[in-house]
Amino acid sequence: MKGQPTLQKIVDRFPKVKILVVGDIMMDRFIWGKVSRISPEAPVPVVLVDNSDESETFGLGGAANVANNIHSLGGKVLLCGIVGHDEMGKKIRGQLTEKGIEHKIFTEERRQSTVKTRIFANQQQVVRIDRETVDHPKVSILRDLSNFVMEKIEDFDGIIISDYGKGLLTGTLIRAIIRKARKAKKLIMVDPKLRNFKFYKGATVVTPNTKEASEASRVPMVDGSSIEKIGDKLLKELKCRALVITRGEEGMAIFEPHRKPIYVRTEVREVYDVTGAGDTVIGTLALALGTGTRVSVKEAVKLANYAAGVVVGKMGTATATREDLIEAIKKET
């Protein structure tokens, strides 16, 4: 019970934190149906979808889901990214406006807005269909977006770089954000993608999953001791304040300079859908660390673990509220 008031006090301060999210914006589309037979054309299930409004749902994904989680947890957030000049781009803008999430979205005429369509049958995912453009945006759009971000960094407590490898986050842009944020003494949180790892040097916290961390460090995940070799190597290479490796059901591993690794066990009770859990983790970490310098990375990770435990217990792309988080803390402490 001793740690409970501290964690709750951190959550109570979330509304005072302002986070700028820059990254790859997506739409998560869900089609819900039932399987009653196997197709005579191929050994695949036939998914029957009815005509009700509940048979097809849409949720903000990628960087938009990070912003949605911060907003849901009571923090102040500004989302910056790019979509295509298409129906899904309009739907993304519409959902952000409807939820009251502040945003600056740039539009590229011939770009395909990233859409991940997941088909569920009998509450289990059958297949995922992706539509996307992964090319870098036009130079003029990238320049305008970069100028906007540079102007805004001073106004926020921290910046999240949400990298899904969809083309927006070039090495030049990532380095410019980190350089400006460090100069302004702001938090820089990175949810990474392998191809850009070398550009994250100097960030405050980087949050790869086990696979990403293993590939980036070039250290194979062989046994229990591998995670420490991976973490130590990446921490030295990235020169960040902390490296947080997310390990699914095994929880998270925290690596900080001149300290032994800290392992935080998972708080998941029942997993229904892991979609967007990483977005919840980095959003919660940013809010917790953004409340003040006295908050340790371990405390922030514990809160992120609780929040992730909430969202994976829901179907579809979900968010946790401050009330959800406080309730989870009370149950586990």
Amino acid at 192: P
Q: What is the 3-state secondary structure (H, E, C) of 144-206?
A: HHHHHHHHHHHHCCEEEEECCCCCCCCHHHHHHHHHHHHHCCCEEEEECCHHHHHHCCCCCEE
Catalytic one of 163, 191, 273, 279: 279
CB 98 within 8 A of CB 81: no
- Among residues 266, 298, 260, 268, the alpha carbon closest in space to that of 10 is found at 298
With beta carbons less than 8 A apart as the criterion, state whether 278 and 245 touch.
Answer: no
* Structure tokens that stand for 275 in this block: 């979609």
156 φψ region: left (φ > 0), alpha (ψ -120 to 50), beta (else): beta
Euclidean distance between the first and final Cα of the chain, in Å?
5
Q: Is 64 exposed, middle or buried (0-12, 13-18, 19+ CB in 10 A)?
A: buried
Angle at 63 between CA 219 and CA 31, to 5 degrees: 100
Q: Catalytic annotation on 279?
A: yes
For the annotated catalytic residues, the residue numbers are 279
